[in-house]
Amino acid sequence: MRVRRVLTATHGGSVLACACDRSSRFFASGSVDHSVAMWSLDRKDAYPKLWEGRHGAYVQDVQFSSDSLLLASVGGDRICRVWDVETGTTTHILRTSGALTLVRFSPCCKRVMAGGL
């Protein structure tokens, strides 16, 4: 394996989570700065889409759906957000009573599981 590209710093703080979709077209990261960043790896000049201010605390985990249409993120604000990958809009919000540390999609992409402390 060789490094083909280094994705430059985008977040204003440490990165806590990262994920690549199954097709290797998209890469996402979550940070202590409350933001989610997403790159389209198809383009050489790809600049990240930075989804700022949508989480009220650090972003602990990010995960793509198996069809690469959705991205889920969770964090210290006790919220699980599901995003439309193309538009960056939030499609679903799940509020919980505790901090969330992990998020996963079911293989059929119809369910999201989130867990934490």
Total number of domains constituting the chain: 1
75 in a domain, yes or no? yes
Domain ranges, residue 93: 15-116
3 in a domain, yes or no? no
2 in a domain, yes or no? no
8 in a domain, yes or no? no
73 in a domain, yes or no? yes
Question: Token pair 């604000």 is at which residue?
Answer: 77
64 in a domain, yes or no? yes
Question: Token pair 């293989």 is at which residue?
Answer: 107
H/E stretch holding 30 reads: strand 26-31
Alpha carbon distance 81, 73 (integer Å): 5
1 in a domain, yes or no? no
| Predicted local confidence at residue 46, as pLDDT | 61
34: left (phi over 0), alpha (psi -120 to 50) or beta: left
Instruction: Give me the tens of pLDDT residue by residue for the chain, a chain 117 residues long.
Output: 665 655 566 778 888 999 999 998 899 999 999 999 988 887 765 667 777 677 899 999 999 999 999 999 999 999 999 999 988 889 999 999 998 999 999 999 889 999 987
45: left (phi over 0), alpha (psi -120 to 50) or beta: alpha
9 in a domain, yes or no? no
